[in-house]
Amino acid sequence: MSVVVPSAHPADSPQERSARPHLTVRDLKGKAEPDWCPGCGDFGVLNALKQAIVELELYPHEVVTVSGIGCSSNLPGYINTYGMHTLHGRALAVASGVALANHELKVIATGGDGDGYGIGGNHFMHSIRRNVDLTYIVMDNQIYGLTTGQVSPTSIKGMKTKSTPQGSVENPINPIPVAIAAGATYVARGYTGQIRHLVELIKGGITHKGFALIDCFSPCVTFNRDNTHDFFKQRTYKLEDRGHDPSDFQAAMEQAYIWGDEIPIGLFWKRDDLPSLDQLEPVLASGGALARRSLGISPELAQGLVRELM
């Protein structure tokens, strides 16, 4: 597990904040250079995330990125925010802890379809039902890229890979209706071939109070020869261009199941009437973030515990 700490830590007061210079995407450049294959869709996600943070006028010390394992999960090292590169499938568990320890932070979890919907599927479901206040960006390339091309949870049925040379016999998971049905309060899908659109979806997810999923088509140019940029360019359409209402549950579910000659991207579902986990936790109701409180317990409380246990 590795931890990334931003190089800058500006002051927090409103007066000093207003006096600070406007950040640019260049200011969010991480200390490490991305090692993704040329043309990988993950570059688009990284650039869109940086642009979204800049347009929201957030600063490095106000954001933390958390990832699991995989090509896409190297992202925290490529961006100048607080960050953690954690364990396979465990990004949401760690991100949930960060969000509760300091709910003043903007918490962004990143990873791939294998990391998030495969080994991390349990954390995915329970982070959703708890409505943890974080943004989860899944770089969905329908393949295991880091291990050089095996079938993933979102690979289409019949897809030939190193692990399925005769074609996959499994039905893929569809994360959009799963997230909606499980209780996610912001569910969107982006595509790295539509960066401006993706920036707006990420901004919406970051500013949303509650669990926000942004499943992003991020083509693997090396190992997935089926779901390519040309594949998505010919098929994707924006939900807002079709007049979709993201507050309509039935319409959201219907759009979520469309896959074929046309594939929708955009905001499927959003609700603002469900409190997030930190808003429901009594310990966080007063006193501010746990991370800013004094460590330990009062002598009176300690003595009370001793008396009770003795």
What does the DSSP assignment read for 239-253? GGGGT--TT-HHHHH
- Label the pairing between strands 63-67 and 134-140: unpaired
Residue 56 domain boundaries: 2-309
Position 71 scores a pLDDT of: 94
Could you report the per-residue pLDDT of 205-218, keeping only the tens digit for each?
A: 999 999 999 999 99
Please state the pTM of the whole predicted model: 0.91
Q: Compute and round to an integer the Cα radius of gyration of the chain.
A: 20
Backbone φ, ψ for residue 17 (5° rounding): -65, -45
Residue 9 has pLDDT above 60, yes or no: no
Per the CB < 8 A criterion, the answer to whether 64 and 83 are in contact is yes
Per the CB < 8 A criterion, the answer to whether 211 and 239 are in contact is no
Position 4 scores a pLDDT of: 55
Whichever domain contains 164, its CATH number is 3.40.50.970
CA distance 158 to 168: 4
The band of 98, judged by pLDDT with boundaries at 50, 70 and 90, is very high
Domains held by the chain: number? 1
H/E segment holding residue 237: strand 236-238
Residue 286 has pLDDT above 70, yes or no: yes
H/E segment holding residue 3: strand 2-4
Nearest CA to 232 out of 191, 202, 266, 267 is that of 191
Position 10 scores a pLDDT of: 44
